[in-house]
Structure 1
Amino acid sequence: MSALLSVKGLTALRGECPVVDDVSVTIGAGECVGLIGPNGAGKTTFMRAALGLMPSKGTSTLADLSAAARARSVAWLPQARDIAWPMTVETVVALGRIPHLPRGAKLRPEDRAAVDTALAEMDLTSFAGRLANQLSGGEQARVLIARALAQQTPLLMVDEPIAGLDPAHQIGTMQSFASLAAQGKSVVVSLHDLGLAARHCTRILMLSQGRLVADGAPAEVLTSDLLNKVFGIKVFYENTDQGPVFQPTEITYR
C-alpha cells in the first residue's frame, strides 16, 4: 500500500503542554479516514502539524515537501468557512486549480472540467454565477469543499467539513469522500457525527488528550468501552440491511 501521509512521533506543544503527543500513523491510498475525538482532543492540531503548518516535533512526509509540491499532493480545508471577497462561486472553486497551473496561465479544458465536476458533486452547478460571499454559511461551506475537490490531489484533509450543513448535504459530502476512496484517493476528515463516520469511513482514528488511542475499522474503534472512556457516552450501534446505525443515547460521566 503506497503511503500518501506518514507521521512518526508527531508532537505539538502549547507552551509546555503537548496538544498532540507522540502520534504515529500512515495513510495509504484508497482510505476514507475519520478523525474523531472530544473537543480539545488535538484533531485540528494533528492535521495542521502533519501538514507542516505549525511547529512540531517528529516527522511528517507532507511537512517535508515544498509548498508547491504539498499543494499538488494534498488539498487542505480548515474549519474557517467565511468567504470575504465578492467572487463568483465558480471563481472560488477554480482557485483549487492553481497548484496545477503555470504562473499566470489561464484555465485549460481539463481545469474547467475539474471545476464543473466539483460544482456538480457539491450540488452547486446552479450557483456557479452567484457571488459566494452572499450565500448562507452552509452554502459557503459547500463552495469551499468544492474548491478542495477541484484541486484533485491524491489526499484530501478536511477539518469538520460537514459542520453547519443540512442532513442531505452532510450525507452527500460523506458519500463524495467515500467515492474518492473507492477511486484510489484518500480522505482524512475530522468530524463529530459518529454515525456518519460509522457509515462512510473505512478507518477511524480516535484521539484523546492528544494521543492516538484507537486506529482501525469503525466496528473495531466505535466500541462501548472506548466510547464510554473517551467521550463519556453510551450508544446504540447495530448493523442493518441499510448499513450500520449508530446513535449516541446517554451521557455517562455525570
Structure 2
Amino acid sequence: MEENLGFSHFLAQIDHVGMVVFILLLSLSVASWYLIIMKSISNFIASRRANAFLNHFWEVDSLQELKIEMKGSSTDNAFAHLAKLAVDVTTNSQRHGMEKLAAAGGVSELLTRTLRNGIDQEATRIGNGLTIIASAGSVAPYIGLFGTVWGIYHALIQIGLTGQGTLDKVAGPVGEALIMTALGLAVAIPAVLAYNAFIRRNRIWMARLDAFAHDLFTIVTVGNKSGDNTTKAATEQNHNPQFTPTATTTSAFEGRQ
C-alpha cells in the first residue's frame, strides 16, 4: 500500500489526459516562477538605479548643467529616460524651431505629450509578464481540480470493475487523484501572491514617476528647480515666453493621478 501512495507510482499509472494536465501545471509553474524571479531582480535593480539618479538629479545647480549632464548620461532607469526626453525636446525645439507637426501647440504641449508618452511606455514595460502570472494564479486551481475529477473517475471505474471498495483499495487511487489539486494550489498560491506584490509595486512606481514628471515639467518650462524663487522664474519666462507653463498642460498630468 505504501508503494501505491508514492508520487512515482502516481506518474506511472496516470493516463494521457492526466499527463497532459500534469505537464500543463508544470509549465505554468516554471513560467510563473521564472517571471517572478526575473521581475523581482529587475525591479530591485531599477529601484537602486532610480534612487541613485534622483539623488544626483536634485543636486544639479541649474537647468543648463542638467542639459549638459543629460547629454552624456545613460538612461538605465525610467526617471533618467524621462529627464532625457524632456531635455531633448526643449533643446531640439530651441535649435530647430517649432515648424514640425509634432511641435504643434507650442513647446509646453510638446513636452506634455512627450512626458506622457514616456510614462505610458514605462507602464507598458513594467506590465510585461503579469498576464502570465495572473493566468497561472487564476487557472491553475481549476486545472488541478479537473485532474482530480478525472483521476477519481478512473479510480471509481477500477473499483467497480474489481468489486472491491474497501478502504485499502480506495485510499490509494483517491489520494493519487488529489495530488492534482495539491499541484494546482502549489502553482496558484505563489503566482497570486507575486501578482499582488507586483501590482502594488507598479502602482507606487508609476505614482513616483508621475510626480517626477510634474517636477520635470516645471523645471524645464520655468527654468527654476526650486519653483519658489518667483523673481527668477519671472525672469526666465520673460526671456523665454515660449516656455511658460499653462493650465492646459499642467492639467494633462493631473488627469493621470
The structure where helix makes up a greater share of residues is 2
Under a length normalisation based on structure 2, what TM-score does the superposition of the two structures give?
0.25
Structure possessing the higher radius of gyration over alpha carbons: 2
The structure where strand makes up a greater share of residues is 1
Under a length normalisation based on structure 1, what TM-score does the superposition of the two structures give?
0.25
